[in-house]
């Protein structure tokens, strides 16, 4: 076990101990999750709180820990469930990062890389690793699903994907992403075999050299590889069929309180995610070989480098302006719950003036280009575009602006950056540490009368 990992574990355990000594009662969503878990611990498996919208994977996990380690289902012990999963996060991220970097993972499973330890400290994951929430177990199970699929163990990936869906049913989308991303990598590096022909190869040029017409070539070449993809997809088809049966039986994908979780068309969610990813991931963006000045120049060239690019940026801006006008949602939870940072972001930025949401459109476009340029340096066009496509499927039907919904796509996006120098990792780690220190200090020690504790 590496010293860095021991330090990470020690800090997490210390923070959990301090949180439990300060926060004695369930908070925010915990008043729903904790009593439900305690009912399971008592063997009351028919008891269900109708306000809970996610499956019972978290409660089953706590029940298993209780059975194996003789834990009592007290508040501190239930929170320990998620913290233990947080301790496993760097181990899973190590294999994911090694997959994208195309290097062998460390021989010892308990020796995660420095980069994985830093990424495991990502503020949204780290914060909710100390509360009885589904975020961290959901994230870890999705990461393991992607890793298993990348290693060609598709039946295992489907099983892990099923487990991930017991934490959040929308993770079925990330299971399909795991399969798709593994196949793109496999087709990219597969060596030709006897009797193979170019006609059976998917056209997928490097992202850095791609042009819009390449998308047409991709579509033309896709039918030739479909038979092979269908053979590899059998395990995932079983899981997808199971999910279809569940949705039919349940009358929708949401369990419990369906009234506050009605699917909508919320296109600006993708714009918020681009800004969110850039606000948290800027150390990685500037850590490329061209630096800050080079990155800014590249973004400017992509947006305004020629008449056609300028025209494309103008058309994109007009389309985004229409979607901002028609599909911006002022969710009542966002407007009323002043215990979340998003309340103040929305009130003090987006609602500052009616023109502000439109003024941010060029910022969103620049953020999108920044990540495309950074991730696409070492990937094909489809490898770079596939994550935004699946992210779109998870975010657009969601009416509420909630940083937790950005967690999985951000981790998957960040893990695709394969050439982060040491100084970039240190800068990223320092940025995450500063955010974690401030948010946890405010949460634990600066509650406001009549408001409560501030959190993500």
- Which tokens hold the place of 20? 């439990």
Tens digits of residue pLDDT in 260-311: 667 899 999 999 999 999 999 999 999 998 899 999 999 999 999 999 999 9
Mean pLDDT of 229-237: 90
Which of 291, 325, 278, 316 minimizes the C-alpha distance to 423? 291
Dihedral (Cα; 101, 224, 242, 86), 10-degree rounding: 10
- DSSP type of residue 376: G
Helix (H) / strand (E) containing 307: helix 307-327
Band of residue 181 on the pLDDT scale cut at 50, 70, 90? very high
What is the structure's pLDDT at 176? 96
pTM for this structure?
0.94
Q: Residue 195 has what pLDDT?
A: 52
Query: pLDDT-derived band of residue 320, with 50, 70 and 90 as boundaries?
Result: very high
Q: For residue 375, what pLDDT is reported?
A: 95
Residue 142: pLDDT band by 50, 70, 90 thresholds? very high
Predicted confidence band of residue 234 (pLDDT cuts 50, 70, 90): very high
- Cα angle 442, 447, 449; round to 5: 155
Question: What pLDDT does residue 247 have?
Answer: 84
Average pLDDT for 48-62: 92
For residue range 73-88, what is the model confidence (pLDDT) as tens digits?
999 999 999 999 999 9
Distance (Å, whole) CA 67 – CA 62: 9
Does residue 229 or residue 366 have the better pLDDT?
Answer: 366
pLDDT (mean) for 105-117:
92
In this structure, the chain runs to a length of 456
Note the pLDDT of residue 417. 96
Query: Cα separation of 95 and 97, whole Å?
Result: 6
- 452 forms bridges with which residues in the sheet? 448
Q: Which of 172, 187, 247, 176 is nearest to 221 (CA)?
A: 187
pLDDT in tens, 390-412: 999 999 999 999 999 999 999 99
206: exposed, middle or buried (Cβ count in 10 Å: 0-12, 13-18, 19+): middle
Q: How many CB atoms lie within 10 A of CB 111?
A: 16
Structure tokens, 1: 């076990």
Confidence of residue 199 (pLDDT cuts 50, 70, 90): very low
**pLDDT attached to residue 278:** 98
Mean pLDDT score of the chain: 92
Range 44-49 average pLDDT? 91
């Amino acid at each position: 076990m590496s010293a860095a990992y021991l330090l990470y574990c020690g800090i997490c355990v210390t923070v959990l101990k301090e949180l439990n000594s300060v926060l004695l009662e369930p908070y925010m969503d915990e008043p729903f999750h904790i009593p439900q878990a305690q009912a399971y611990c008592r063997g009351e498996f028919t008891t269900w709180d109708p306000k809970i919208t996610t499956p019972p994977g978290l409660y089953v996990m706590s029940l298993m820990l209780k059975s194996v380690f003789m834990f009592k289902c007290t508040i501190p012990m239930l929170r320990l469930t998620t913290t233990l999963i947080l301790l496993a996060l760097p181990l899973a991220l190590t294999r994911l990062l090694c997959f994208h970097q195309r290097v062998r993972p460390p021989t010892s499973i308990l020796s995660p890389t420095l980069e994985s330890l830093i990424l495991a400290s990502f503020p949204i994951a780290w914060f909710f690793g100390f509360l009885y929430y589904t975020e961290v177990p959901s994230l870890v199970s999705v990461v393991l699903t992607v890793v298993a699929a990348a290693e060609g163990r598709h039946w295992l990936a489907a099983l892990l994907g099923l487990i991930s869906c017991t934490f959040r049913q929308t993770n079925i989308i990330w299971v399909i992403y795991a399969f798709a991303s593994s196949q793109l990598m496999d087709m990219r590096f597969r060596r030709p075999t006897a009797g193979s022909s170019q006609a059976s190869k998917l056209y997928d040029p490097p992202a850095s050299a791609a042009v819009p017409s390449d998308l047409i070539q991709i579509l033309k070449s896709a039918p030739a590889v479909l038979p092979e993809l269908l053979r590899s997809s059998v395990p995932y088809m079983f899981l997808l069929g199971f999910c279809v049966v569940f949705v039919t039986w349940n009358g929708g994908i949401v369990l419990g309180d369906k009234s506050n979780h009605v699917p909508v068309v919320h296109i600006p969610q993708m714009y918020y995610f681009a800004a969110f990813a850039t606000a948290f991931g800027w150390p990685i963006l500037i850590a490329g070989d061209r630096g800050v000045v080079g990155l800014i120049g590249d973004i400017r060239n992509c947006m305004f480098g020629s008449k056609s690019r300028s025209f494309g940026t103008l058309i994109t801006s007009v389309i985004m302006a229409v979607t901002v006008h028609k599909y911006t949602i002022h969710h009542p939870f966002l407007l009323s719950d002043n215990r979340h940072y998003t309340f103040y972001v929305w009130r003090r930025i987006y609602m500052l003036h009616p023109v502000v949401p439109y003024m941010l459109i060029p910022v969103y476009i620049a953020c999108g280009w920044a990540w495309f340029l950074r991730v696409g340096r070492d990937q094909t066009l489809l490898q770079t575009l596939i994550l935004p496509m699946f992210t779109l499927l998870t975010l657009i039907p969601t009416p509420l602006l909630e940083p937790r919904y950005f967690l999985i796509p951000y981790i998957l996006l960040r893990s695709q950056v394969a050439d982060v120098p040491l100084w970039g990792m240190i800068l990223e780690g320092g940025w995450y540490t500063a955010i974690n220190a401030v948010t946890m200090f405010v949460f634990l020690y600066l509650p406001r009368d009549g408001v409560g504790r501030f959190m993500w």
